[in-house]
Structure formats: C-alpha cells, structure tokens
Amino acid sequence: MQDKHGHRISYLRISITDRCNERCGYCMPAELQEWLPREGVLTYEEILRIADVAAGIGITKVRVTGGEPLTRRDVIPFLERLCSLKGISEVGVSTNGTLLSKAAPGFITTADALVAAGVRSVNISLDTLDPSAYAVTTGRDYFDRVISGIDAARQAGFERIKINAVLMRGRSEEQLLPLVDFAHDNGLLLRFIELMPVSSGDVLSESSFLPVAEARRCIEENLGALDPRADFRTNGPASYFSVPGRDQLLGFIGAMTNLHFCETCNKLRLTCDGKLRPCLGSHLEFDLMKEIRSGASDQGIIDFIEQVVERKPMEHDFRNHYFPGRKMIAIGG
Ligand code: SAM
Ligand code: SF4
C-alpha cells in the first residue's frame, strides 16, 4: 500500500491493552484514566482477523505494544497465532521489561516463551540505570525486575533487543553515558527518543524537552564523533550512528526536531479499542471495531484500511500546537 505522499505502508503497530503495571508520567496522565471495560477492547480473534486481512494487502511486519502488552492474559498463545499468519514475516513486542523474567507456562521465563512463539525482536524501555530515578520516572520500584528481564531476553535468543530511552532534560543528561556503556556491554541496540506531547501534565513542559542533537553532542564530547550510518535501518524512524572504536550503534529518534522524520513512515496503528490511526501525531482515527462488530466482510475491512491509508497525513502535527487528545498509553507507543 502506498499513500498519496509516497509513504509505503508495510508495518502495523497493534496495541493489545491500555493497561499497564507502571505509571510513566510522559505516557499516562497523573490523574489516572479509567481502564477500558473488557468489551471495549478488541478480542484476540478480532485482532488476528485484522492482521490477517492486512497481511493480504501488504502488511508484513507487526509490533505488539500497549499499555504493557505482557500484562494481558493469554498473550503468548495469541502471539504464536499472530506469528504464524501468512504474509507476516516479523513480529516484535514493545515492553517495559518488568515481566520478561517471570515464569510462563512450560517455560522458565516469559522471554523464552516469546521466542518459542516466534517473536523475533523485543524493544525494552529503560530511561535510566539509577534505581531511584527509575522509580520516579515510572512510578514503580521495578528497576531490578527490568534488569533481570533484559538478562532473560538476552538468554532467550531474540534476533534483536533494542533499549528505548526517552530523553528528559534534568533526568537524562547524566544517564547518557551509563546507558551507552550498558548497551555496549550487553550487546543491546540503544535508541534515544525525544519526548512527544502524548500525555498531560508537567513532564511535557518545554523545560523537560531534551533534543536528540544535544544528547548526541554530549555523547560525542566523551566518546568522540559519532559516525552517521545511513545504511543501517530497522523498521522504525531512528537515525543510527556508530561509536568510534567500538562495535556499537546508537539510534536517535528525533520525532520533534528532525524535519524529515515522517518521510520514511511506513506505519499504521491499531489501538486496543479498535481505532485505526494513520499517524501517532494526528488526531485522525477511524473506528474499525465498529465495522467489524457490525459484520464487515474481509473486503469491507480491506476497503476500510485502504481509506485510512488514503487519509495518512504527510507529517505529524506535533510541532503545530498539538494538544494531546489521547494519551500514549491509550494509543500504543
Ligand atoms: N509498556 C511498553 C513500554 O513501556 O515499552 C510499551 C508501550 S510504551 C507506550 C512504548 C514506548 O513509548 C516506550 O518506549 C515509551 O518510553 C514510549 N513513550 C511513552 N510516552 C512517550 C512520550 N511522551 N514521548 C516519547 N516516547 C514515549
Ligand atoms: Fe506503561 Fe510503557 Fe506507558 Fe510506561 S511507557 S506507562 S510502561 S505503557
């Protein structure tokens, strides 16, 4: 599928829950929203049907996210079915990592179960290596769990493990080098992400914003000039650089400051309440759950998806006085 701006759409990001066991301020507003009622969330059968139909019209890669996807019951059998859909060549999971080392039925860890289900890559969020700062950012004292989750992921044998660190002025600066070293020592692909206006409250004030260029400069002052690696791409919008004298790449996701950020966008998003969104940073969303629950045929779903692709904006609206309508946790990061 291709939209009118030339974006080639091959990637579907699916949020399977709005629930989470953490409380990151930049994702969830402090004045906690109500969770959706169970009937307001797409069933696994409905998600699999959408993914199957989407695979027939060019979606080849899927990332499962949330909320925290690993908190949803029976997520492993669901992922196993998702991974076996014809046409879907790659399934990844985004997680806060807190549940990866937990035992799963028939497996020592949930990470092992994910790999056995066919999940090829895992993105784990980790903004800091300081346990008390971690607790402040996430609202939970789960730092040790995440570290053991990362160990479990390494042992499980994913093809790729990425660490996502959201940049925040006043919190991130001192953590840049420790995170770079941690990623290097553990063979992890680290990406720094600019804060996006998808929550509410103080954390999203101008003074919390730390541009990727500044983070990069700070790393370069200590480790030497980073070498741009335009040849290296994953499925996402990160720009990658290699670290001098090391076998290490770093990714920078300049969602706010990189004016070319949206040019290579290949994504659609499906929220857990069944809205299909052509862009994270636009209020456009279309109610696919309603279509499905009123008996849409597969062709009806195809037409619906194609119409959403048709409406995909050229670029996100974050720089244009965007006011968060839905929080990140409700959209799926
Ligand atoms: N719970 C999982 C996790 O934390 O990785 C998956 C969902 S989370 C919404 C997906 C990603 O979005 C995480 O890497 C998180 O750090 C990022 N994220 C959340 N709010 C953000 C914001 N306001 N700006 C930038 N990234 C954000
Ligand atoms: Fe939960 Fe992930 Fe959002 Fe943090 S970023 S509140 S872990 S969904």
Our mutation pick for probing the ligand 1 site, out of 23, 125, 198, counting the most ligand atoms within 8 A of Cβ, is 125
For residue 5, pLDDT beyond 70: yes
3 lies in some domain: no
| Ligand 2 atom at minimal distance to the Cα of residue 65 | 8
Q: What is the pTM of this model?
A: 0.94
β-sheet bridge partners, residue 97: none
307 lies in some domain: yes
180 lies in some domain: yes
Pairing of strands 239-242, 227-228: antiparallel
As given in the structure block, the two tokens for residue 309 are 């692709």
Structural domain boundaries, residue 183: 11-331
244 lies in some domain: yes
CA–centroid distance, residue 109 to ligand 1 (Å): 23
174 lies in some domain: yes
Shortest-distance ligand to the CA of residue 142? 2
Ligand 1 in reach of 324 Cβ (< 6 A): no
CA–centroid distance, residue 24 to ligand 2 (Å): 5
1 lies in some domain: no
Shortest-distance ligand to the CA of residue 70? 1
Cα 265 to Cα 200: distance, rounded to the nearest angstrom? 25
Shortest-distance ligand to the CA of residue 124? 1
Domain count, the chain: 1
Ligand 2 in reach of 24 Cβ (< 6 A): yes
Cα 256 to Cα 192: distance, rounded to the nearest angstrom? 12
* CA-nearest residue, atom 4 of ligand 2: 24
Ligand 2 in reach of 15 Cβ (< 6 A): no
Q: What is the pLDDT of residues 314-331, one digit of tens each?
A: 776 666 655 655 566 666
- 322: number of Cβ within 10 Å: 15
275 lies in some domain: yes
Q: What is the pLDDT of residues 181-238, one digit of tens each?
A: 999 999 999 999 999 887 665 566 678 889 999 999 999 999 999 999 988 776 667 8
Burial, 93: exposed, middle or buried (Cβ in 10 Å; 0-12, 13-18, 19+)? buried
Residue 194's pLDDT is 93
Ligand 2 in reach of 28 Cβ (< 6 A): yes
Our mutation pick for probing the ligand 2 site, out of 17, 20, 36, counting the most ligand atoms within 8 A of Cβ, is 20
Q: What is the pLDDT of residues 52-83, one digit of tens each?
A: 999 999 999 999 999 999 999 999 999 999 99
Ligand 1 in reach of 199 Cβ (< 6 A): yes
Cα 110 to Cα 107: distance, rounded to the nearest angstrom? 7
* CA-nearest residue, atom 17 of ligand 1: 333
Mean pLDDT of the chain: 90
As given in the structure block, the two tokens for residue 144 are 């040790």
As given in the structure block, the two tokens for residue 328 are 């990140």
5 lies in some domain: no
Shortest-distance ligand to the CA of residue 269? 1
CATH number (domain holding residue 234): 3.20.20.70
> With contact defined as beta carbons under 8 Å apart, do 267 and 94 qualify?
no
> With contact defined as beta carbons under 8 Å apart, do 167 and 192 qualify?
yes
The amino acid that residue 198 corresponds to is: V
- 32: number of Cβ within 10 Å: 9
